[in-house]
Amino acid sequence: MNLWCVKALKQILPRSLTIFKWLIILVLVLNLNSCAEKAVTQDAPISHTEKYQPTSQQFTEVAPPEVIQELRSTLEVYRPQVTIVTPQLDEIIPDTKVTVRLQVKDLPIFKEPKWELGPHLHVILDNQPYIPVYDLSQPLVLSDLSPGTHTLRVFASRPWHESFKSEGAYTQTTFHIFTKTDDNSPDSRLPLLTYIRPQGSYGAEPILLDFYLTNAPLRLGATDSPNDLFSDWRIRCTIDGESFVFDRWQAVYLKGFKPGNNWVKLEFLDNQGNTVKNAFNTTVRLVNYQPKGKDTLSRIVRGELKADEVRSIVDPSYIPKPPVPTPTPEPIPTPEIPEVVEPQPTKLPQPEVTPTPQVIESPALETPPEVIPTPQPTELPEPKVIKSPAPELDVIPTPQVIKSPTPEPEVTSSPQATQSPIPEPDVIPTPQVIESPTPEPEVTPTPQATEVPEQPKTEPLKSRLGKYFQRRSIPTPQGEE
């Protein structure tokens, strides 16, 4: 039997060797999988995590505004170290007034004058709303303090009131006015919650919600130890009666606030979801939300101001670039030049030539065909010359003055040259043509008007020069009349 088994095994083993190898690998994989499952179950218990997830439909967590995200990177290089110089720890002050002096390293503290924002400190007396401090050269004076124990909490803040959460950015001290009491004295063995934002008035959404934690363990180091009550801590936020829970320590931005007053409450919860009893671990603040605010922070949140415009609130040495060269509407005048210049000079002289035909219209009105021939305009100046003797008839008084010297033969010689054309019975039609254009229907009476004055005026000349007129028998035209 043994020999038979050996022979059988020799035949089976070469074939089944590969099968055994796969079986061994499968067993190892199953063992590793079970170990991995145990490792997962050993993480911090989160069985009640869903219980505290935000369930409010009114409020929504959103990303920080883009301008704040850009400016935030400028301040990431700082690790502020805050120190309270006075008052000192457990100092008893025999007065109701306290002078607070602070020091900060590795963070510039200032307020940009134009935008009125900048890195600063938040000073919280007991659990009152914080006091912003932008100038460390002047001490902060707290007056009218009640007798007993008081606590100061101070931490570094960004220009938009988000706290620095690095080590050393927060400090606190407890002092006493006249004597010690149990009030306003947090237990250093318990986690401490410091409410930061929201606070005061807001003019735009989203609104920052921020807090600071002291003595709270990191959630990555949480254990299942029954003695550890705070490894799985939570922060419960209630706004206008609607509650939701945060399980991480970081600032968040919320939308959903109604215009007007809103109340906000923050509470520190232990692993079981119970509030941890310590001074300041439950805080309520009143927030006034008025949309369309005009302050710098509201304009930053809405995106009306760009990061380069307000970068001076995070960097005191930053010089904003002049926005003057940015507008480049210079090509606008170029299209205007070809449009206006070309048509103006060419069209203006053309209408000036048009009034010339007005003179042409006057002769066109002359109905008689006899006047149409061109010699008429040439004859027009001739009647004008003929009219000159008409004023000579008016100038006849001048020959009266000539009568005094009585050199009549000299005068006669001059009129002979002028009167030599008197035999103008042929020319008489010419004045008719002259007077015809002015009053066309009155062409016939006009020669009579001209001849009538000529007869009385010629009569005195005949009387004076009778001999001369007797010689010339030409004045027959009078008989013709």
Using CA atoms, how far apart are residues 245 and 460, in angstroms rounded to an integer? 139
Q: 204 with 302: CB under 8 angstroms?
A: yes
Q: How far apart are the first and last CA of the chain?
A: 190
Q: Are 89 and 174 in contact (CB under 8 A)?
A: yes
Task: Give pTM, 2 decimals.
Answer: 0.57
Which residues make Cβ contacts (< 8 Å) with residue 156, sequence separation at least 6? 80, 82, 104, 107, 119, 120, 121, 163, 164, 169, 170
Q: Which of 37-46, 199-208, 413-422, 438-447 has the lowest mean pLDDT?
A: 37-46
| 8 A C-beta contact, residue 213 and residue 249 | yes
Q: What is the pLDDT of residue 172?
A: 96
Percent of the chain, pLDDT > 70? 54
Amino acid 299: pLDDT: 96
On whether the CB atoms of residues 207 and 252 are closer than 8 A, the answer is: no
Q: Which of 207, 201, 192 is nearest to 162 (CA)?
A: 207
Q: For 163, which DSSP code?
A: B
How confident is residue 22, by pLDDT bands cut at 50, 70 and 90? Answer: confident
Task: Pull the structure tokens for residue 461.
Answer: 């000349």
Lowest mean pLDDT, pick from 123-127, 211-215, 317-321:
317-321
State mean pLDDT over 335-353: 55
Class of domain 52-313: mainly beta
Q: Which helix (H) or strand (E) element contains residue 389?
A: helix 389-394
Distance CA 70, CA 63 (A): 13
**Higher per-residue pLDDT: 228 or 35:** 228
Rg (CA), the chain: 60
Distance CA 144, CA 147 (A): 9
| Mean pLDDT along residues 297-312 | 95
Q: Which one-letter DSSP state was computed for residue 176?
A: E
Query: What is the reported pLDDT for 336?
Result: 58
Residue-level pLDDT at 383: 46
